Amino acid sequence: MILHDWFDWSNSGVGIAGLGLTLWAVWQATGAKRAATEAREAVYQGNAVESLEEIVKLAEQISESLLLEWPSVAAVRARDLVARIPRDRARFERFLAADSDTLKALESIFQQLAIRLSSARFLEGSDEPQRTIDEVFEAKRELNAVYGRLQAQIMRRGHE
């Protein structure tokens, strides 16, 4: 009879140890899941910054083309930008927050710019090229501001 009681107690001990190991494994898995989620979020934020950086570079190429008096090249870059902004705005809307509306307005500005640059009479107007250059620099300034805010937001999240 003593052997039988000892066997029951040992089974109970093994059961309790198994429960303890299971709880420890669940706790470890929860930590691993949290780490994986944070890593995925960091990659996603990095992609958002890279995409916005490429949009800023396209805007810089537009302004350089206008300064060099290459309106056809600037028009192509403006169309590239118009195609790029809505896609990236939709992809990274969660990070952009209020800047999503700013990007939508900038998309409209660059769309109008592409149409103007494609017209054959673009260089005929004496003030048209300078006015366009001023608009592009203002839009580029806005893009840089959105880019800076996104980077600052990511830096704040990184320090939390």
Query: Burial code of 68-98, b = ≥16 C-beta within 10 A, e = fewer?
Result: eeebebbbbbbbbbbebbeebbeebeebbee
Q: Is residue 12 part of a domain?
A: no
Q: Is residue 18 part of a domain?
A: no
> pTM value?
0.71
Specify the pLDDT at position 102.
Answer: 87
Q: DSSP assignment, residue 70?
A: -
All residue ranges of the chain with pLDDT < 50 are: 1
Q: Is residue 2 part of a domain?
A: no
Residue 131's CATH number: 1.20.120
Q: Is residue 131 part of a domain?
A: yes
**Rounded Cα–Cα distance for residues 109 and 48 (Å):** 22
Specify the pLDDT at position 1.
Answer: 47
Q: Is residue 138 part of a domain?
A: yes
| Count of structural domains within the chain | 1
**What ranges in the chain are assigned the alpha helix state H?**
2-67, 71-91, 93-96, 99-118, 128-158
Q: Is residue 26 part of a domain?
A: no
Q: Which domain holds residue 74?
A: 40-158
Q: Is residue 46 part of a domain?
A: yes
Contact between 79 and 50 under an 8 Å Cβ cutoff? The reply is: no
Q: Is residue 74 part of a domain?
A: yes
Specify the pLDDT at position 60.
Answer: 92
